[in-house]
Each structure stands twice: as structure tokens, then as C-alpha cells.
């Protein structure tokens, strides 16, 4: 998981909401290329539903570093094609995975980097050769480039929001083991 260049990020619900709930949304702004992220309208709807449900999430529409993107007709078509390839169960609601699919469609059509943590969505990104990063990569970048950030504390704060992340006694040691941070 490496960001190949300075292309803008298009972000899924999970990463955005958990960084907000942990009090670390500023990391996203500070690390995002050009200091700006795109939230597809489908994802924004999911985020706003979380706010209505009582979660402590900042509304993307109130942040000057977040752009809400409406899918074009081509992106909406790609979103549906990707959704067809996403695993789902018989009892899953029709809107399951729409946010991830919107992120991938925007990454494809707008030449952006998908910020996704869902394993099935990451598999779809790889199958379509779309660049993607996830929360663990973002924490590593914060550790490397933001002097005032304690990666262990950020990792624990995200876990405290019930975010599904790899379990590790030490985030830094985990990141070194998987080659995301240099061994020194």
C-alpha cells in the first residue's frame, strides 16, 4: 500500500468517520495531497446517517478541506458494475457496498487514490489496478511526516472507536514487520 504520487484522495465512510470519532480528522487534511479530499455523495449520505444516529462525526459539508462529489453518469455506471463484482449475501440490503463502489468509480474516472479499508473493496481496487491506501498506511505516513503525531496513540484512539484494524501490541513494530516503516 503506497501512494504512488500526489493524486488527490477519494475517501470512504469508515476512514473518515473513525478519524473524526477519534479526534484525529486533522491528520487527513494535513496528509492529503493538496490538503483536500473528495467524499462521493453516496459516502456523504452514509456519513450524515451516522451523524443522525448520534455518532460524534464532523459533517463533511462543514470542512473546507472536503469536497462532496456527485457521481457523473459514467461514474454511476462504473459504481454499479463494481457492485456486481462485490461479494454480498442474500440478506444484504441493496445499498451494501455502494459507498466503496462510489469511491472506486471516482478513483477510476477522476484519476484519484481510493482511501478504503474494506477487504472486498481493496480486492476490487487491485483487480481494476486502481491505487488505494488505507488507515494503517495513513497512520504510518503521519508517523513519518507529522512531528506532533504519536502513531501509537492514534492507532489506539482509532481502536477505541471500534474500528476494525489489525491487532498489534505495538503499531510501530507491526508497521516495521510489514515494511510500512523502516527498521532502524
* 67-123 per-position pLDDT tens digit: 999 999 999 999 999 999 998 888 888 888 999 999 999 999 999 999 999 999 999
Arithmetic mean of pLDDT, 132-158: 96
Compute the average pLDDT of residues 138-159: 96
Percentage of the chain exceeding pLDDT 90: 87
Average pLDDT over all residues of the chain: 93
Spatial CB neighbours of 128, under 8 Å, sequence gap ≥ 6: 82, 104, 108
- DSSP per position, 35-47: G-EEEEHHHHHHH
d(CA 87, CA 158): 26
Q: Is the pTM of this model over 0.75?
A: yes
**Rounded-to-integer distance, Cα 130 and Cα 106, Å:** 10
Report which DSSP code applies to 11: E
Q: How many CB atoms lie within 10 A of CB 133?
A: 24
Q: Rounded to whole angstroms, what are the CA distances from 140 to 86, 98, 117?
A: 28, 28, 15
Whether residue 4 has pLDDT greater than 70: no
Whole-number Å distance between alpha carbons of 128 and 126:
5
The packing angle between helices 41-52 and 98-110, to 10°, is 150
Amino acid at each position: 500500500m503506497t501512494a504512488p504520487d500526489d493524486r488527490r484522495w477519494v475517501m470512504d465512510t469508515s476512514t473518515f468517520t473513525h478519524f473524526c470519532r477519534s479526534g484525529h480528522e486533522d491528520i487527513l487534511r494535513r496528509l492529503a495531497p493538496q490538503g483536500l479530499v473528495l467524499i462521493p455523495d453516496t459516502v456523504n449520505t452514509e456519513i450524515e446517517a451516522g451523524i443522525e444516529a448520534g455518532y460524534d462525526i464532523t459533517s463533511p459539508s462543514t470542512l473546507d478541506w472536503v469536497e462532496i462529489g456527485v457521481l457523473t453518469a459514467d461514474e454511476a455506471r462504473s459504481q454499479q458494475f463494481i457492485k456486481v463484482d462485490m461479494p454480498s449475501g442474500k440478506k444484504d440490503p441493496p445499498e451494501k457496498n455502494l459507498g466503496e463502489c462510489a469511491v472506486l468509480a471516482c478513483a477510476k474516472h477522476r484519476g484519484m487514490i481510493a482511501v478504503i479499508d474494506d477487504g472486498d473493496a481493496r480486492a476490487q481496487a487491485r483487480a481494476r489496478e486502481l491505487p488505494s491506501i488505507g488507515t494503517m498506511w495513513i497512520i504510518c505516513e503521519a508517523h513519518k511526516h507529522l512531528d506532533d503525531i504519536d502513531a501509537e496513540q492514534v492507532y489506539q484512539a482509532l481502536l477505541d472507536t471500534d474500528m476494525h484494524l489489525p491487532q498489534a501490541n505495538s503499531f510501530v513494530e507491526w508497521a516495521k514487520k510489514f515494511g510500512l516503516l523502516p527498521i532502524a
